Amino acid sequence: MYPDGEYSHEDNASVIFRPLKFRALEVKNRLFRSNISGMFDEYNGHGGNARLNWEEKFARGGVGCIISSFTPVAVRGRILVRYAMIDNDNKIPFWRAVGERVHAHDCRFIMQLSHSGRQQDFGGVENLYNKGLSSTSKSDYFHGLLSQAMTKPEIAEVIEQFAQGARRAREAGLDGVELHGANGYLITQFLSSGINDRTDEYGGNWEGRARFVLEIVRAIRREVGQDFHLQMKINGVDHNDWLYPWIPKGNTLDETIKICTLLLDGGKGVDAFHVSSGSTFPHPRNPPGDLPMRDLERCYDGMISQGTRTRFNYAIFTNPLGSRLFRHWWRWRRGKVIEGINLDYARAIADAIADIDPSIKVLCTGGFQHADKIAGAIRSGACDAVSMARPLIANNDLPKILARENGPEPRRECTYCNKCLINDLENPLGCYEPSRFDGDSFEERHQRMIAEVMSVFEPPAFH
9-16 helix and 371-379 helix, angle to the nearest 10 degrees: 60
For residue 123, pLDDT beyond 50: yes
In the chain the first and final C-alpha atoms are separated, in Å, by 54
Task: Please list the residues that pair with 289 across neighbouring strands.
Answer: none
Rounded distance between C-alpha atoms, residue 88 and residue 50, angstroms: 21
Give residue-wise pLDDT tens across range 363-379: 999 999 999 999 999 99
Average pLDDT, the chain: 95
pLDDT at 5: 54
Q: Which amino acid is at 85?
A: M
- Could you count the other beta carbons within 10 Å of the beta carbon of residue 309? 16
What are the percentages of helix, strand and coil residues in the chain, rounded to 5?
Answer: 40, 15, 45
Contact 358, 352 (CB under 8 A): no
Task: Please list the residues that pair with 66 across neighbouring strands.
Answer: 33, 109
Rounded distance between C-alpha atoms, residue 200 and residue 81, angstroms: 33
% of the chain exceeding 70 in pLDDT: 98
Report the greatest alpha carbon distance in the chain.
Answer: 65
152-171 helix and 211-224 helix, angle to the nearest 10 degrees: 40
For residue 263, pLDDT beyond 70: yes
Closest CA to 69 of 59, 53, 54: 54
Q: Could you tell me the pTM of the whole model?
A: 0.96
Helix (H) or strand (E) holding 49: helix 49-61
For residue 4, pLDDT beyond 70: no
Contact 120, 145 (CB under 8 A): yes
- Could you count the other beta carbons within 10 Å of the beta carbon of residue 338? 18
Rounded distance between C-alpha atoms, residue 330 and residue 436, angstroms: 24
Model confidence at 2, pLDDT cuts 50, 70, 90, reads very low
Burial-class residue 258 by CB neighbours within 10 Å (0-12, 13-18, 19+).
Answer: middle
pLDDT at 461: 56
Rounded distance between C-alpha atoms, residue 293 and residue 383, angstroms: 34
pLDDT at 459: 79
Give residue-wise pLDDT tens across range 180-194: 999 999 999 999 999
Q: How far, in Å, are 94, 264, 296, 297, 423 from residue 302 at the CA level? A: 29, 41, 11, 10, 11
For residue 463, pLDDT beyond 80: no
Across the range 189-215, mean pLDDT stands at: 98
Tell me, yes or no, if 185 is annotated catalytic.
yes
Model confidence at 37, pLDDT cuts 50, 70, 90, reads confident
Rounded distance between C-alpha atoms, residue 31 and residue 59, angstroms: 11
Rounded distance between C-alpha atoms, residue 79 and residue 177, angstroms: 19
Give residue-wise pLDDT tens across range 280-338: 988 999 999 999 999 999 999 989 999 999 999 999 999 999 999 999 999 999 999 99
Task: Count the helices and strands in the chain (H runs, E runs).
Answer: 17, 12
Parallel, antiparallel or unpaired: strands 20-21 and 26-27: antiparallel
Q: How far, in Å, are 25, 104, 204, 278, 294 from residue 107 at the CA level? A: 12, 7, 41, 29, 37
Q: How far, in Å, are 8, 69, 125, 185, 368 from residue 77 at the CA level? A: 46, 14, 13, 9, 29
% of the chain exceeding 90 in pLDDT: 95
Rounded distance between C-alpha atoms, residue 255 and residue 261, angstroms: 10
pLDDT at 50: 95
For residue 114, pLDDT beyond 50: yes
Contact 67, 182 (CB under 8 A): no
For residue 1, pLDDT beyond 70: no
Q: What is the DSSP letter of 355?
A: T
Q: Which of 19-23, 114-118, 282-286 has the lowest mean pLDDT?
A: 282-286
Model confidence at 6, pLDDT cuts 50, 70, 90, reads confident
Q: Is 415 helix (H, G, I), strand (E, B) or coil?
A: coil
Rounded distance between C-alpha atoms, residue 276 and residue 341, angstroms: 9
List 43, 83, 129, 185, catalytic entry: 185
Helix (H) or strand (E) holding 326: helix 320-334
Rounded distance between C-alpha atoms, residue 35 and residue 175, angstroms: 15
Spatial neighbors of 419 by CB under 8 A, at least 6 apart, are 292, 295, 431, 432, 433
Helix (H) or strand (E) holding 148: strand 147-149
Give residue-wise pLDDT tens across range 129-138: 999 999 999 9
